[in-house]
Chains A and B, each alone.
Chain A
């Protein structure tokens, strides 16, 4: 047995042990050092993070961890695309030849009902999908590589443009990492303002997701109703920033924004107008049998799969995953309850979307009430070197980011958003559904491909 094989077996043994103890994989970090590729597997259970590492020579092979942690499939794909390393499936897969009576159908990569480019290849029998493969990469810009060796403001600018819906959360997670390494204190007012802006970005992301679902359902009047709410959001955001994506506000140690209480109250009044409209749309959808019937039987996720997913996919199956709990933002000052449902399907996930928007509005309202007076920026001197792993909430689940700094220069950055985890299960969720419901299923799963492909 070669050294490489021995290492692989030891790794699988260790990871199986952690799986048995109830850990889940949250992140795989890879780095190329001399002639070796160093892999570090981060595992989490109840907020406790453990890591397992291994070295593989360049052009070497490593057994895939997909059998133990299926949530790692997409992360392995990304690493195999970046480094000269191959992941070998543990079980010899029973290669199923495409049956002759199955109809191959290609969909994508560009389509009005796809929010972002992905190429789907379906095998269809009697309108039912028997096999599916999804090809990504049409969105790749190499942001992680572009950030290395750059200064913090430049990296922040780039991360804020990683995704239109989660750009603010990504930038904020990076700043939290920078502040932790350099021990920069954030003033109380700035912390709460950041929380408000973060919730506003969730609000915007969820409203766009909801508008996409209404389009997939063909409910055009509801679609224009949701777009009116987005206009309302834009009106509120324009009171504090020129940019609806809230770009260019974040700086280490605080914010480049000093919104007074009056401005925040005016903004809150505009935002709270959404509550009534959203509640009425939600109630109408709940009472309309056509919508519930159409959506309840599609995009189902079993509890075992949902357990290792993140965001609404997990919460709709009854797992009260609180992504805000591990954030450095002062969420502990506010009272909130994470919305959950019993059965993960398209309908419950959509209903949770309404609940999430209402939760964001409630958190904004609470935060504005308790916002103190004071400065919004602290003296920040970036001198230290170090590395840190941060876990922050984003609109569709949990964002994990690894940052390594040397003074004011970024030496390494790795981003794993919620879609990197949830995308591994896409084929499994779509298989067995009718081909005409695929856009609706994808819309309800909240994929953010621009954040995933970077």
Chain B
């Protein structure tokens, strides 16, 4: 990690969206946070305006799609979207033609995918950290590029 990114590092706030699914991905995530004393600096928030990262678990139906888009708009930049589990990544067994279910990628620009039913706890934590690092890095670069252009 570059020194600039290190300076800008702070704890990560995650907004968890549990769309249609069995909720095991969300349980694994809470288990990873609470059951593991080594994990520090990741918190769950109930307010999208305080969030850095949107964690989507489960298949997305038309009803939850609208709410997810509303939430995404409220999250400030830089923001990352992570699709957790087979349901969010590909729709799993439930997604068929005209079934009215969407994958996370169809609804939002996804930064990281964690496949599997059910994904492991460590994989979820790693994906959050990597996605946030990548997003902040690229965001810093774009901001820097914008400033340089203005100066020129």
Question: Which A positions have Cβ atoms within 8 angstroms of B?
Answer: 109-113, 115-117, 137-143, 146, 154, 157-158, 161-165, 167, 208, 211, 223-224, 227-228, 230-231, 243-245, 247, 450, 453
Of B23, B31, B101, the residue contacting A227 (CB under 8 A) is B31
B66-91 interface with A by 8 A CB criterion: 67, 71
* Complexed CA–CA distance, A143 and B100 (Å): 12
* Complexed CA–CA distance, A140 and B100 (Å): 10
* Complexed CA–CA distance, A140 and B20 (Å): 6
Q: Nearest Cβ in chain A — how far from B44, in angstroms?
A: 5
* Complexed CA–CA distance, A293 and B58 (Å): 38
User: Can you list 27 A-B contacts (CB < 8 A)?
Assistant: A110-B67, A111-B46, A112-B45, A115-B23, A115-B26, A137-B63, A138-B20, A139-B21, A139-B58, A140-B20, A141-B61, A142-B101, A146-B93, A163-B22, A163-B23, A164-B23, A164-B24, A165-B23, A167-B22, A208-B27, A223-B34, A228-B35, A230-B31, A230-B35, A245-B22, A247-B117, A450-B23
Residues of A within 8 A of B21 (CB): 139, 141, 450
Q: Nearest Cβ in chain A — how far from B57, in angstroms?
A: 10
* Complexed CA–CA distance, A138 and B18 (Å): 9
Q: Nearest Cβ in chain A — how far from B134, in angstroms?
A: 24
Q: By the criterion CB–CB under 8 Å, are A158 and B19 in contact?
A: no
Tell whether A141 pairs with B46 under 8 Å between CB atoms, given A110-B17, A157-B93, A453-B20: no
**12 extra interface residue pairs, beta carbon distance < 8 Å, beyond A115-B18, A208-B27, A450-B20:** A109-B64, A110-B16, A138-B61, A140-B63, A141-B61, A146-B93, A158-B93, A163-B22, A231-B31, A231-B35, A243-B118, A247-B117
Q: Provide the B89-104 mask, 1 if CB < 8 A to any CB of A, else 0.
A: 0001110100111000
The chain A residue with its CB closest to the CB of B17 is: A110
Question: Which B positions have Cβ atoms within 8 angstroms of A?
Answer: 15-24, 26-27, 30-31, 34-35, 37, 44-46, 58-59, 61, 63-64, 67, 71, 92-94, 96, 99-101, 117-118
* Complexed CA–CA distance, A117 and B21 (Å): 10
Residues of B within 8 A of A162 (CB): 22
Q: By the criterion CB–CB under 8 Å, are A161 and B93 in contact?
A: yes
Residues of A within 8 A of B118 (CB): 164, 243-245
* Complexed CA–CA distance, A208 and B28 (Å): 11
Q: By the criterion CB–CB under 8 Å, are B24 and A245 in contact?
A: yes
Q: By the criterion CB–CB under 8 Å, are A450 and B94 in contact?
A: no
Residues of B within 8 A of A161 (CB): 22, 92-93, 117
* Complexed CA–CA distance, A165 and B37 (Å): 24
Q: Nearest Cβ in chain A — how far from B41, in angstroms?
A: 16
The chain B residue with its CB closest to the CB of A158 is: B93
The chain B residue with its CB closest to the CB of A155 is: B93
Tell whether A146 pairs with B94 under 8 Å between CB atoms, given A138-B67, A163-B23: yes
Greatest chain A CB density within 10 A among B15, B19, B24 is at: B24
Residues of A within 8 A of B34 (CB): 211, 223-224, 227
Residues of B within 8 A of A142 (CB): 94, 99-101
- The secondary structure that dominates the B interface is mixed
Residues of B within 8 A of A139 (CB): 18-21, 58, 61, 64
Tell whether A164 pairs with B67 under 8 Å between CB atoms, given A138-B61, A146-B96, A231-B35: no
Q: By the criterion CB–CB under 8 Å, are B23 and A141 in contact?
A: no
Residues of A within 8 A of B58 (CB): 139
Residues of A within 8 A of B46 (CB): 111-113
Q: By the criterion CB–CB under 8 Å, are B63 and A141 in contact?
A: no
Q: Nearest Cβ in chain A — how far from B48, in angstroms?
A: 9
* Complexed CA–CA distance, A211 and B31 (Å): 10
* Complexed CA–CA distance, A224 and B61 (Å): 33
Residues of B within 8 A of A228 (CB): 35
Q: By the criterion CB–CB under 8 Å, are B67 and A109 in contact?
A: yes
* Complexed CA–CA distance, A163 and B18 (Å): 12
Residues of A within 8 A of B100 (CB): 142
Q: By the criterion CB–CB under 8 Å, are A138 and B19 in contact?
A: yes
Tell whether A117 pairs with B19 under 8 Å between CB atoms, given A109-B67, A111-B46, A112-B44: yes
* Complexed CA–CA distance, A230 and B44 (Å): 20
Q: By the criterion CB–CB under 8 Å, are B22 and A164 in contact?
A: yes
